[in-house]
Amino acid sequence: MTRLLLFLGTNIAVLAVATAAFKVLGLEDMIANSGTDINLVGLLIFSAIFGMAGSFVSLAMSKWLALRSTGARVIDQPRNATESWLLATVKRQSEQAGIGMPDVAVYDAPDLNAFATGMNRNKALVAVTTGLLQGMTQDEVEAVLAHEVSHVANGDMVTMGLIQGVLNTFVIFFSRIIGMVVDRAVFRNERGTGIGYFMVVMVAQVLLGILASIIAMWFSRRREFRADAGGAQLAGRQKMISALERLNSSYGQSTLPESVEAFGISGRNGGGLRRLLMSHPPLPERIEALRRG
């Protein structure tokens, strides 16, 4: 099965921390200390704190994590004509898009790929693989860069962070509501929280977390179409189509770490249930969307 993507990994960490914190701080008993009444407002507040905080901590660290996980080198001083062209192209596209100049990086990998990340649209990161530079024409690379710059200009990283934060909040909130109801209805625990409650909460978090990831990935796929359209405006429609066709010929192969794969340009292919957890639409669909204009 395809990866559960960047935010599912974040979900697991956030929900695990939230579960431990709820227990250590006594919040589980606090929301259950009045018999069958549940302090919904208090539970929702605590869920929002943990759900949103985890998502935005991950987003704030995204540039550092991306550079560490890929081994990408930020171009401070161009070493050759290709790196000079990369900086000049991203600078021009950023000015067209109305954003600050992102850091530009290159990392050693054989696949045709690139990604953008960062919490601030004026202090983002755009990175490309050596395989992309070697396996694409300059026009195609220009289109890939335009796609990534469009992601930054559209604020996609922040938008996905907000979406995931909200989803995290409701996963934490409803898993505990379900746990409380089952604990009292099945295990007959009328006060506090028992072992049945914690077992149900953990199972509910996993199931609701998968549902949350399906929702997040639906939004991610929509934003890929938008970034393709933005790339076509910045670099030209035919260049963007040619770049996607070249990516399609590589069969969606990717060596991107899972922590940043959702922000790569091509992602991985899948069908059936796997499609629900894909961060990117199939490349033929993206090419068709551009051709339709």
Cα dihedral 133/137/142/143 (nearest 10): -110
User: Which of 96, 130, 115 has its CA nearest to residue 5?
Assistant: 115
From residue 24, alpha-carbon distances to 10, 28, 127 in Å are 21, 9, 41
Contact status, residue 66 vs residue 107, Cβ threshold 8 Å: no
Phi, psi dihedral angles at 190 (to 5 degrees): -85, -10
Residue 158 has which token pair? 């922040």
**Annotation says 148 is catalytic:** yes
Helix, strand or coil for residue 105?
Answer: strand
Tell me whether residue 195 is exposed, middle or buried, using C-beta atoms within 10 angstroms of its C-beta: 0 to 12, 13 to 18, 19 or more.
exposed
User: Other C-beta atoms within 10 Å of 268: how many?
Assistant: 17
| Amino acid at the residue 146 | A
Q: Among residues 142, 148, 224, 261, which one is catalytic?
A: 148
CA distance 279 to 225: 11
Q: Which residues contact 167 (CB under 8 A, 6 or more apart)?
A: 7, 11, 51, 212, 215, 216
Catalytic positions: 148
